[in-house]
Amino acid sequence: MSTLSLILVLLVAAEHFYIAYLEMTQIPGEKAAALFKLPYEFLQQKNVQNMFSNQGLYNGFLAVGLLWAQFAAPDNARFSATMLFLGFVLIAAAWGTFSTGNKGIVLKQGLPAALAALATWAAA
């Protein structure tokens, strides 16, 4: 795996750790309301907080999976594991964009994952 591929994958992982942090610890909050473009009052609802916390856990799993693929997966599984978790990020970005109509999701999450996947593929 090339240095470029590793850096891009680690950036995707860092982004998902940050999203997990926001969703699990910063809801409700003014910063999260602004970042997610949702009314603060909406984020004060307990069921909304629970939903965001669960979504944050998922984003944390993606980040941990990407780190595992880079540093702990057996050598013969590193490429496949990296592509699997990047694929999960790409599917999540596509679904998030489709289901919310927010094109920013595919740009902010999908594009970095696509670039990391391309770099990983090219380095294989």
Amino acid of residue 120: T
Number of residues written out for the chain: 124
Instruction: Give the span between the Cα atoms of 86 and 19, in whole angstroms.
Output: 16
Residue 26: the pLDDT is: 96
Residue 80: the pLDDT is: 98
Residue 121: the pLDDT is: 97
Structure tokens at 110: 């999908």
pTM: 0.93
Instruction: Give the span between the Cα atoms of 50 and 93, in whole angstroms.
Output: 21
Q: Is 2 helix (H, G, I), strand (E, B) or coil?
A: coil
pLDDT grade for 1, boundaries at 50, 70 and 90: confident
- For all residues of the chain together, what is the average pLDDT? 96
Query: If you average pLDDT over residues 31-44, what whole number do you get?
Result: 92
pLDDT tens-digit series, residues 57-91: 999 999 999 999 999 999 999 999 999 999 999 99
Question: Residue 71: which residues within 8 A CB-CB, separation 6 or more?
Answer: none
Domain ranges of the chain: 3-122
Cα–Cα–Cα angle for 47, 61, 41, nearest 5°? 25
pLDDT tens-digit series, residues 112-123: 999 999 999 999
User: Number of H helices and number of E strands within the chain?
Assistant: 7, 0
Express as a percent the part of the chain with pLDDT over 90. Answer: 91
